A and B are shown apart, each in its own frame.
Chain A
Amino acid sequence: MKLSGWGRYPVADCRLSAPRDAADLCACLDAGPGIARGNGRAYGDSAMNASNTISMRHFNRMIAFDPETGQLITEAGVILGDVIRTFLPRGWFPPVTPGTKFVTIGGMIAADVHGKNHHCDGSFGNFVDWIEVIGPGGEMRRTAPGEALFEWTVGGMGLTGLIVRAAVRLTAVETGWIRQRTLPAPTLAATMDTFETAQDATYSVAWIDCLSTGARQGRSLVMLGEHAALDELPPRAARRPHGPPARRARSVPADLPGFVLNRAAMRAFNALYYRNGCRKAGTGLVGWDPFFYPLDSILGWNRIYGRRGFVQFQCVLPLAESYAGLSALLDAVAAAGQGAFLSVLKRFGTQESRFSFPMEGYTLALDFPVSRRSLAMMERLDEITVTHGGRFYLAKDGRLKPDTLHSADPRAAAFRAMRQDTGLAREFSSRQSERVQI
């Protein structure tokens, strides 16, 4: 069947199976090299394999929870939103969450996702106690931090085996409310200063207007957040300590035609958003859902980019090169005249890992509707990233060239060598791993 990632680009015919038990799962591996697929939220082709894509959706059972430590043992196909729904009322929240709650636990481990608290808490892998992985020959192994298999699997994009179960530690919270502070920053330098002075904030992220130029280049709304304690809630919110009731999700009913999101519209939207943010700047109380998952309330928002889909560009630049690199990236975006609707900037804390994306510095995420021009511009962004010592987030990627990846990230060669030496390369591969040669 036709399969794609969340960006709906690229699309390819893939044989998709949905095994129901461990024996079925192992049998899937007999069909040749394959890749596990969770809820299809990687943007590009990370979870696609033309001849053997293995859906983990039937492995969606929770196994045990320890209310003393917050340790949750689940199968890999459990959706993050279900974890929140189940455990927030009991006072627990995911320790790290990406920008959507529709990801699976297995996918979160494979991409070693980061959240708005990366500068404090690091990536999701820091909160994983163990993982069970089915490796070559259908052999299941449980692996824990410190072991090579564990360290490669966290951030290994599913290429070290099928992640079937994991133990993750949730974080204790008193409420489902977030104290949010919005700080407008008129320039890129001001934005970065805001991040640097807000290192103590638990959560921080900036929406950046990547279409403004000149003196306004890089203007942002920096949003900081803290879990609100019970005694901080005003009476109305205290009646619903786990956050406001779930928002009614709306769907994008059809693909929007390409011209809707043209440059003028995006520029207007960005300007409006910034001005609106400035007006509402200050402190407020928001529910966990709109704070962490603003886009989840629009089901199928990926359709706004039209039938051809969209591509995400996300890189991280080392701290010392961040200002120069970000300026160059924003210049290139402005020069190409390609609109990016949703652009996000985030300060990462330190992280040492075998193959995970984050490192200390700044990460910028942009998305563009697919077109020849935007793809060409992204190659320009690739070059800038490499020049400034940055690297790329594979969970967002659907088009990176192998040379670009390998010159940006020497760890890719080590990853590939490890996969070849251990026989993993023969049993696990994705369209992405073949494309970027890892």
Chain B
Amino acid sequence: MTDQPVLILGGRSDIGLAIAHRYADLGHTVQLAARNAQSLSQEKTDMELRYGVTVTLHDFDVLAPDTHEAFLDGLPALPQIAVCAVGYMGDQAESQRDPAAATLVMRSNFEGPANILALLANLFETRGSGTLIGISSVAGDRGRATNYVYGAAKAGFTAFLSGLRNRLAGRGVHVLTVLPGFVATRMTEGLDLPEKLTTDPETLAVAVARAAEKRRNVIYVKGVWAVVMLVIRNIPEAIFKKLSI
């Protein structure tokens, strides 16, 4: 197992860290990638102590696509599993007011993640093995007034993952799309989330690792979200536009 390193893009995020813990617990070497990666040294020490695995830290800026190739070259080994847990919700009101703010949301959730996963996909394809895991969002299933900029970017990311999966099926590379509903993280801190629809990063991480192992294609983590989104996706647009959900 130890020769199956797991790369976590967005290693500072609660979801990224929880997935890192999960894979470390399963015995994998972990490569944590984030901006200012050295500040994750406490997480590195903690994981190495708990699980007796090697954890390495790597500077990674999802918004600087021209650095991505060099970033991948700098990894100690090409990962077997790569998880993209990068995400930035922004503020919808600000995204509406300020195109630059909207662009940042779109670049953080779509352009950047797609760029790094495209590079990884090619490397994995050449090698003939690997798993790509993208943490997208149910927000991408349908645009809503309250967060459509974030939702649009996630929709793009979801479509990108689906395309990658289609392209790489039969090439030994698996792609898993994760569509978490509400997760209690730093991003949602202070929001009043309904308990029955909310999961925590640790539960999500267990589900993600299991789904990757079973080669599932798309998971919602909490099953109820599959139902919720089925309904939301199927409301006719003429009605949907008048709703506030």
A residues near B (Cβ < 8 Å) are 18, 20, 61-65, 82, 86
Can you list 15 A-B contacts with CB-CB less than 8 angstroms, sorted by A residue number?
A18-B189, A20-B186, A61-B42, A61-B45, A61-B46, A62-B45, A62-B46, A63-B42, A63-B45, A63-B46, A64-B45, A64-B49, A65-B49, A82-B50, A86-B51
Of residues 27 to 52 in B, which have CB atoms within 8 Å of A's CB atoms?
A: 42-43, 45-46, 49-51
Q: A61-B43, A61-B46, A62-B45 are in contact. List 14 more A-B contacts (CB 8 A).
A: A18-B189, A20-B186, A61-B42, A62-B46, A62-B49, A62-B50, A63-B42, A63-B45, A63-B46, A64-B45, A64-B49, A65-B49, A82-B50, A86-B49
- For residue A18, which residues in chain B have a CB less than 8 angstroms away from its CB? 189
Highest count of chain B CB atoms <10 Å: which of A18, A20, A61, A64: A61
B45, B46, B186, most chain A CB atoms within 10 A = B46
A64–B44 alpha-carbon span in the complex (Å): 11
Kindly list chain A residues whose C-beta atoms are within 8 Å of the C-beta of B51.
86
Chain A positions within 8 Å of B189 at CB level: 18
Q: What A residues does B186 contact at CB under 8 A?
A: 20
Question: Chain B residues with Cβ under 8 A from A82's Cβ?
Answer: 50
Closest to B25 in A: A85
List of B residues within 8 angstroms of A61 by Cβ: 42-43, 45-46
B interface residues with partner A (beta carbon < 8 Å):
42-43, 45-46, 49-51, 186, 189
Residues of chain A within 8 A of B42, CB atoms compared: 61, 63
Residues from chain A with a CB closer than 8 A to the CB of B50 are: 62, 82, 86
Q: Give the distance in Å from the alpha carbon of A292 to the alpha carbon of B145 in the complex.
A: 53
Docked CA distance A63–B41 (Å): 10
Cβ contacts under 8 Å, A62 to chain B? 45-46, 49-50
In the complex, what distance in Å separates the CA atom of A82 from the CA atom of B51?
11
In angstroms, Cα B186 to Cα A62, docked, is: 21
Find chain B residues with CB under 8 A from A20 CB: 186
Query: In the assembly, what is the distance between CA of A20 and CA of B42, in Å?
Result: 12
- Give the distance in Å from the alpha carbon of A20 to the alpha carbon of B50 in the complex: 20
Q: Using Cβ atoms and an 8 Å threshold, which residues of chain A touch B46?
A: 61-63
CA distance A18 to B185 in the complex (A): 11
* Shortest beta-carbon distance from B72 to chain A in Å: 28
Complex-state Cα separation, A86 to B45, whole angstroms: 13
Q: Which residues of A contact B49 (CB under 8 A)?
A: 62-65, 86
| A65 CA to B49 CA, complexed, in Å | 7
Point out the residues of chain A lying under 8 angstroms from B43, CB to CB: 61
Residues of chain B contacted by A64 (CB below 8 angstroms): 45, 49
* Closest beta carbon of chain B to A381's beta carbon, Å: 36
Q: Taking the nearest CB of chain B, how far is it from the CB of A22, in angstroms? A: 11
A61→B43 CA distance, assembly (Å): 7
Most central of A62, A64, A65, A82 by chain B CB within 10 Å: A62
A62 to B49, CA, bound (A): 7
| A61-B46 Cα distance, complex, nearest whole Å | 5
Which A residue's beta carbon lies closest to that of B39?
A: A21
Chain B residues near A65: list those with CB within 8 A: 49
Chain B residues within 8 Å of A63, by CB = 42, 45-46, 49
The minimal Cβ–Cβ distance linking B200 to chain A, given in whole angstroms, is: 10
Complex CA gap A63/B43 in Å reads: 9
What separation, in Å, do the CA atoms of A244 and B189 have in the docked complex?
Answer: 38
- CB of B1 to closest CB in A, whole Å: 16
Which residue of B is nearest A90, CB measured? Answer: B52
Query: How many Å from the CB of B40 to the closest CB on chain A?
Result: 11
The 8 closest A-B pairs by CB, nearest first: A61-B46, A62-B49, A86-B50, A62-B46, A61-B42, A65-B49, A62-B50, A63-B45
Count chain A CB atoms within 10 A of each CB in B42, B43, B50 and give the residue with the most: B50
Give the distance in Å from the alpha carbon of A373 to the alpha carbon of B40 in the complex: 54
Complex CA gap A211/B186 in Å reads 49
A18 and B45 alpha carbons, distance in the complex (Å): 22
Residue on A nearest B186 in the bound complex, by CB: A20
The docked-state distance in angstroms from the alpha carbon of A62 to that of B45 is: 7
Q: How far is the CB of B31 from chain A (nearest CB, A)?
A: 19
CA distance A18 to B50 in the complex (A): 23
A79 CB to nearest chain B CB (Å):
11
Determine how close the nearest CB of chain A comes to the CB of B11; give it in whole angstroms.
14
Cα A62 to Cα B24 in complex, Å, equals 15
In the bound assembly, the distance between CA atoms of A86 and B49 in angstroms comes to 8
User: Complex formed: what's the CA distance from A20 to B51 in Å?
Assistant: 23
Q: How far is the CA of A20 from the CA of B14 in the complex (A)?
A: 11
Closest to B43 in A: A61
Give complex CA distance A86, B189 in Å: 29
Query: What is the chain A residue whose CB lies nearest that of B48?
Result: A62
How far, in angstroms, from A20 to B186 measured CA to CA in the complex?
9
Task: State how many angstroms separate the Cβ of A192 from the closest Cβ of chain B.
Answer: 42
The answer for the CA separation of A63 and B47 in the assembled complex, in Å, is 10
Q: How far is the CB of A163 from chain B (nearest CB, A)?
A: 17
Q: Which residue of B lies closest to A72 (CB)?
A: B49
Please, how many angstroms separate the alpha-carbon atoms of A61 and B17 in the complex? 12
Which A-chain residue is minimally distant from B45 (CB atoms)?
A63
Q: How far is the CB of A72 from chain B (nearest CB, A)?
A: 9
Inside 8 A of B45's CB, which chain A residues have their CB?
Answer: 61-64
B50 to chain A, nearest CB (A): 5
Tell me the complex Cα distance, A63–B42, Å: 7
Q: How far is the CB of B194 from chain A (nearest CB, A)?
A: 14
Q: Tell me the bound Cα distance from A20 to B43 in angstroms.
A: 13
Q: How far is the CA of A63 from the CA of B48 in the complex (A)?
A: 10
The residue on A at minimum CB distance from B46 is A61
Distance in angstroms between the alpha carbons of A63 and B45 in the assembled complex:
6
Smallest CB separation, A54 vs chain B (Å) = 14
**Bound state CA distance, A291 and B51, in angstroms?**
25
**CB of A8, distance to nearest CB on chain B (Å):** 16
A67 to chain B, nearest CB (A): 11
